[in-house]
Amino acid sequence: GFSYGEINLPQVIRKLEKEMKNAAKSLDFERAAQLRDQLKVLQEEAQRRRQS
């Protein structure tokens, strides 16, 4: 599987959230949906990290 290694998850999540809002604003719902799915995975990973 894909490993996020040492990336700064909160920073990446914020960036994706901003991109998602912009995509939705420009009615690019397909892109917004892709970003939403990515965000879900990243947020789950961030939670796992906090628990370990």
| Helix 29-51 / helix 9-25 crossing angle, nearest 10 deg | 160
Q: Provide the pLDDT for residue 6.
A: 73
Count of residues making up the chain: 52
| pTM as predicted | 0.78
* Run means of pLDDT, 10 residues per run, the chain, 52 residues: 73 96 98 97 92 84
CA–CA separation, 22 vs 39, rounded Å? 15
Q: Provide the pLDDT for residue 30.
A: 98
Terminal Cα-to-Cα distance of the chain (whole angstroms): 19
Q: Provide the pLDDT for residue 2.
A: 57
Q: Provide the pLDDT for residue 3.
A: 64
Q: Provide the pLDDT for residue 35.
A: 98
CA–CA separation, 20 vs 29, rounded Å? 9
Q: Provide the pLDDT for residue 49.
A: 87
